[in-house]
Amino acid sequence: MIEIQEVHKSFGSLKVLKGIDLTVEKGEVVCLIGASGSGKSTLLLCINALESINSGKIIVDGIDVHAPQTNQDQLRRKLGIIFQQFNAFPHLTAQQNVALAPRKVLKTPTKYAQALAQEHLAKVGLGDKLDRYPAQLSGGQQQRLAIARALAMEPDYLLLDEVTSALDPELVGEVLDTLRMLAEDGMTMIAVTHEIPFAREVADRVAFFHQGVIHEIGPAKELINNPQQQRTKEFLGNIL
């Protein structure tokens, strides 16, 4: 379970998060929607401690993420994160990309890590691309590589930061299909997304961010089909 309590975060004088409260249960899929700059992506980075917070608390499975005594490297193994810009490691093959963290972080013997990488790449449909370098893969394939890389660490949660925003429209579908499959397997996910139809279909709940606060939150279909707040209506009206 991820519990986010009264989280505030500023970059200099710019207040990005102004008191976020959100609890995500195991097995739940929560989509964060809202205009750019409303703080959605920053919240994801705060959840796995890639960014610090100014006040409040984020608790993952009972562990206070930002407490000084917390081993954040260890904690991040639970929390897979996937970015908008894929961030495949360009100097490593697909298989090496996936096997690296199991080898170095979990100390899995190379042979097992490679088998693990093959298995996860096959799962996202890249079983025949093991020895390709990222530069030889399409955007959609690179993003699926990033998903396989995160899954190889067997995380309990996945944080998805606009994972389809940098893709050509015809490549969006293949990545969303992969995520759909994960949701059906019961993976807990917090996804920042602009794919409203995807959110409506896959998410259990949707949270609408506006100016650093959660302006409205509710069951996915209800919130998207029938938003209550004026600002939510305007946003969805513009985007759909």
Which residues contact other proteins (rule: CB under 8 A)? 45, 48, 50, 73-74, 76-77, 79-81, 83, 85, 87-93, 100-101, 104-105, 133-135, 146, 149-150, 153
Question: Any idea what DSSP says for residue 214?
Answer: E
3-state helix, strand, coil in the chain (%, to 5): 40, 25, 35
Least distance to other proteins, CB of residue 26, Å: 20
Least distance to other proteins, CB of residue 90, Å: 4
Angstrom distance (rounded) from CA 163 to CA 158: 12
> CB-based contacts of 209: which residues, under 8 Å, 6+ apart?
32, 33, 34, 35, 38, 39, 40, 43, 215
- Nearer to other proteins (CB atom), residue 74 or residue 226: 74
Least distance to other proteins, CB of residue 130, Å: 14
Angstrom distance (rounded) from CA 70 to CA 150: 21
- Nearer to other proteins (CB atom), residue 92 or residue 196: 92
For helices 94-104 and 110-123, what crossing angle results, to 10°? 130
- Nearer to other proteins (CB atom), residue 133 or residue 200: 133
Least distance to other proteins, CB of residue 101, Å: 4
- Nearer to other proteins (CB atom), residue 34 or residue 134: 134
